[in-house]
């Protein structure tokens, strides 16, 4: 019975990643928490993964506010450069 609850670290990290996007099942979360009892490295991975995800979410929100467009002059310069390389 308990063999079915054991996870490798690779499986634990995969479940951790799925959990961040709300795709992990209850059974997987139970297995993950049991794995955390004996594996401190996976706990550290989970904490770092959450921290990085939160950082990039915050960065992507501020990045969406910035318009990434070429000016008219830059467009013309790009057209000339492309025509010269033909």
What pTM was estimated for this model as a whole? 0.62
> Which residues are CB-contacts of 16 (< 8 A; sequence separation ≥ 6)?
32, 42, 45, 46, 49
Which pLDDT does position 10 carry in this prediction?
Answer: 95
Report helix angle 40-64 to 26-38, nearest 10: 120
- Give me the residue spans of the domains in the chain: 2-84
Distance CA 86, CA 76 (A): 16
Q: What is the pLDDT of residue 64?
A: 65
Residue 84 · residue 77 · CB < 8 Å: no
The pLDDT tens digits along the chain (86 residues) read: 567 778 999 999 999 999 888 899 999 999 999 999 999 999 999 999 989 888 887 777 666 677 778 888 988 998 998 888 76
Tokens of 63: 């990045």
């Amino acid at each position: 019975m308990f063999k079915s609850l054991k996870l490798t670290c690779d499986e634990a990290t995969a479940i951790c990643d799925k959990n961040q996007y709300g795709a992990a099942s209850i059974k997987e979360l139970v297995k993950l928490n049991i794995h955390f009892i004996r594996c401190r490295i996976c706990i550290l991975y989970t904490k770092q993964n959450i921290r990085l995800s939160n950082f990039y979410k915050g960065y992507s929100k501020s990045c969406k506010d910035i318009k990434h467009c070429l000016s008219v002059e830059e467009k013309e310069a790009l057209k000339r450069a492309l025509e010269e390389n033909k």
